[in-house]
Amino acid sequence: MQLAMLGLGRMGGNMVQRLLQAGHKVVAYDVDPRRAAELAAIGAAPATTLDEVIAWTAATPTTRTRSGGRRSWPSEASTSATRASAAVSGG
């Protein structure tokens, strides 16, 4: 599974570590780029801007909804904010 984590404080940073240990691919973003760089050392893909996160999530064509159903990404004409909905906030 590929995930994006926004916010790498105590909760978000620990979630990224656990996701990586479980074999998931994670792009990590925080307003402090040093936090993403620290997680890059253990396998996360660091993002220094939200545009990088959006570009990374756009490469993932489908996602699972909370109910387990599948949905496809909207057309290329959709807004970046819609595509970013695949990201997870670390709180």
In this structure, which amino acid lies at residue 58?
A: A
Domain 2-89 grouped into CATH 3.40.1130: no
**Maximum CA pair distance of the chain?**
36
Tens digits of residue pLDDT in 50-84: 999 988 877 765 555 455 554 444 433 344 444 43
Q: What is the pTM of this model?
A: 0.66
The CA dihedral of 28, 30, 32, 37, to the nearest 10 degrees, is: 0
pLDDT for 81? 41
pLDDT band at 1 (very low <50, low <70, confident <90, very high): confident
Task: State yes or no: pLDDT of 29 exceeds 80.
Answer: yes
CA–CA distance, 1 with 18 (Å, rounded to integer): 13
Contacts of 36 (CB under 8 A, 6+ apart): 8, 28, 29, 30, 44, 46, 47, 48
pLDDT for 52? 92
pLDDT for 56? 86
